[in-house]
Amino acid sequence: MYDLIIIGAGPAGITASVYAARKRMNFLVITKDIGGQTAWSGNIENYTGYQFISGPELTAKFEEHMKKYNIDLKENEQALALERKENSILVKTDKGKYETATLIIASGKTSKELGVPGEKEFKNRGLTYCATCDGPLFTGKDVAVVGGGNSALDAALQLVKIARRVYIINIADNLTGDAIMQEKVNSSKKVSILNNTRITSIFGDKMVKGIKIEKKDKEESLAVEGIFVEVGLKPNSAFARGIDINENGEIKVNCRNETNIPGVFAAGDVTDVVEKQIIIAAGEGSKAALGAFRYLSRKR
CA distance 92 to 95: 8
Helices 11-22 and 55-66 meet at what angle, rounded to 10?
A: 20
The distance from CA 146 to its chain's CA centroid, rounded to whole angstroms, is 17
Q: Which of 134, 154, 178, 205 is flagged as catalytic?
A: 134
Pairing status of strand 109-111 against strand 165-169: unpaired
Write the CB contacts of 106 (distance below 8 Å, at least 6 apart in sequence). Answer: 6, 7, 8, 9, 10, 12, 13, 16, 266, 267, 268, 270, 281, 285, 288
CA distance 210 to 274: 36
Cα dist. 123→9, 151, 228, 236 in Å? Answer: 25, 19, 10, 20
Amino acid at 233: L
In terms of Cβ atoms closer than 10 Å to its own Cβ (0-12, 13-18, 19+), residue 75 is: exposed
94 catalytic per annotation:
no
Write the CB contacts of 278 (distance below 8 Å, at least 6 apart in sequence). Answer: 11, 38, 41, 44, 47, 58
Write the CB contacts of 293 (distance below 8 Å, at least 6 apart in sequence). Answer: 4, 19, 20, 23, 25
Q: Which of 130, 154, 244, 255 is flagged as catalytic?
A: 130
Q: Which of 133, 154, 217, 269 is flagged as catalytic?
A: 133
255 catalytic per annotation:
no
Which residues carry out catalysis?
130, 133-134
